Structure 1
Amino acid sequence: MVMQLDKPLRQKGRYLVREAEGVADLRAAQRLRHLAFHGDEASLDVDAFDPICRHFLIEDGVSGKLVCVFRMLPLISGGDIDRSYSAQFYELEALRAYPGRMVEMGRFCMHPDVHDADVLRVAWGAMTSYVDENKVELLFGCASFAGTDTSSYLDSFAMLRDRHLAPKRWLPRVKAPNVFRFAARLRCKPNLKAAQVNMPPMLRSYLLMGGWVSDHAVVDQKMNTLHVFTGVEVKSIPAARKRLLRALAC
């Protein structure tokens, strides 16, 4: 079952967000993903999950340039969790008991030449509209750090350990063969400034909404990333943050 938006997405400021229509749009998204993740746009970033996801494109309304893409996989409940991309890397047995609607957000990336924070705001506005209109209760995905060198992110991981681990009832377990068990291994106190500076913007946004993470990071050599499972329960988002997100969605 595919959940549908009740109204089309539209332009906010100079950026237009819309759902992909047809092969050409999907190929454009895959080309931008390959540029963002692998450094060139001569090839496409394609995987087996693309056909079952809904793909969103954010374009510069002035130049027409594609500046950001992401995809969303709707799940009726935790009983469908094994269909998700994240389930390849994390043992999500605990989340099979989750009763509400879920959406996995993935392959989020921006064009390397674009650094406008408004793009991220537009993306969150679109996701907020989707979540509200489809009564989604849990938003989740793999939040990625660039590269596979854990030493660059020790303060960030220590902060995640101290402040943002998943509740025990939903905690993902280890499944991938190569992981960094930061909750068990790190003993240092985080430098909070360094932790924030090195935290990926998307993960920072999740955390501001009350998001939580797995107690380990997966070392993904194929994507050249370290990623943590990240979840946000909609009912737990602070009221002030909900108001801000819904203002972006208007």
Structure 2
Amino acid sequence: MSSIETPAALFTSPDSPGVLGRLGSLEVRLARTAAEIAAAQELRFRIFFDELGAMQENAAILEERDADRFDAACDHLLVYDTAIAEPEHRQIVGTYRLLRGEMAREAHGFYSAGEYDVDRLTLAKPDLHFLELGRSCVKPEYRSKRTVELLWQGIWAYCRRHRIDVMFGCASFPGAIPAAHALALSFLHHNCRADADWDVRALPQRYQPMDLMPREAINPKVALFSMPPLIKGYLRLGAMIGDGAVVDQAFGTTDVFIILPVSHISTRYITYYGAEADRFM
């Protein structure tokens, strides 16, 4: 069964098949058709390339889609604004790409393995179910708390259905100069590093140190304020940070590695997202 066919069979809601959450006119669900996946790729292109200035390859310029070999093996979590008077695939305002461990074999590995030694973690814990989160983006006018909450409600429902034990992936700071984020990177290094049992290190040829400032020189409030909302959100949930940053020249970002065991997620978040997810399971 393909990743396009799977979601509709897995999740149902009495009044709208496949819906994982709803808030006002916004709904979150998994892509069910090739047209919806293509629309998500177009949204990613507009955000990553047009807005954030990622480097464009010839194919991307011609198709105006952010696509790679991992897309076919992934499920695509989508937020729709049903108030938009367009076909469904034109109502997409946010997306997250989800790659489970068993599906990663089809893609010959995880996307983040190009930056970090992911195998060190997954091979050391063969009994756990892993989920890579990536390619998160939302239209500028929808970058609000409720859109983020819908995405996380969808992710939580997905994790429950697939019995996910650990979420991980790369999260990005804008710009390809780590020193520009010295305060935030140093805070993460000194306060949020994964312990040895969960640690993942950047590949040697891509490793960038994160301890750019001594602990005593760091103002935690200022450091947290300077971080992208996505990274702060991961930290609130209980995420840990891997060893070393990586510069992604193609996307013009400085990446850090996020490790989020489900067992580390705060009970209040489990209760909050779980209660909402139960309505749509």
Q: TM-score, normalised by structure 2?
A: 0.80
Higher Rg:
2
Which amino acid in 2 is paired with 1:52? A
Is 1:55 the counterpart of 2:76 in the alignment? yes
**Alpha-carbon deviations, 1:65-110, whole Å to 9, x = none?**
4211111011149999971111111112431111211111110111
Is 1:153 the counterpart of 2:174 in the alignment? no
**Alpha-carbon deviations, 1:128-187, whole Å to 9, x = none?**
11111221100111111122132332221122112211111221123163332113x432
State the superposition RMSD in angstroms.
2.6
Match of residue 205, structure 1, among 226, 233, 238: 233
Which amino acid in 1 is paired with 2:130? M
For 2:93, the equivalent position in structure 1 comes to 67
Which amino acid in 2 is paired with 1:162? H
Match of residue 31, structure 1, among 42, 50, 54: 42
When structure 1 is superposed on structure 2, of 21-30 and 47-56 the one drifting more is 21-30
Contact map agreement 2:187 2:220 (CA 8 A) in 1: yes
Identity across matched positions, percent: 28
Which amino acid in 2 is paired with 1:70? Y
Q: Which runs of 5+ in 1 are unaligned?
A: none
Distance change >3 Å, CA 93–CA 71, structure 1 → 2: closer
Distance change >3 Å, CA 81–CA 216, structure 1 → 2: farther
Structure 1 or 2: more strand by fraction: 1
CA distance in 2, matches of 1:46, 1:176: 27
What is the Cα deviation at residue 248 of structure 1? Answer: 4.0
For 2:118, the equivalent position in structure 1 comes to 92
Within 5 Å, give how 1:99-114 maps onto structure 2: 99-114=127-142
For 2:158, the equivalent position in structure 1 comes to 130
Within 5 Å, give how 1:184-223 maps onto structure 2: 185-188=212-215, 189-223=217-251
CA distance in 2, matches of 1:88, 1:62: 39
- The number of equivalent residue pairs is 249
Distance change >3 Å, CA 53–CA 77, structure 1 → 2: closer
Match of residue 246, structure 1, among 274, 278, 281: 274
Which amino acid in 2 is paired with 1:221? Q
* Aligned-partner SS, 2:76: strand
Contact map agreement 1:81 1:92 (CA 8 A) in 2: no
Q: TM-score, normalised by structure 1?
A: 0.89
**Alpha-carbon deviations, 1:39-59, whole Å to 9, x = none?**
169711111100100112111
Is 1:143 the counterpart of 2:171 in the alignment? yes
Contact map agreement 1:18 1:56 (CA 8 A) in 2: yes
CA distance in 2, matches of 1:22, 1:196: 39
Contact map agreement 1:58 1:69 (CA 8 A) in 2: yes
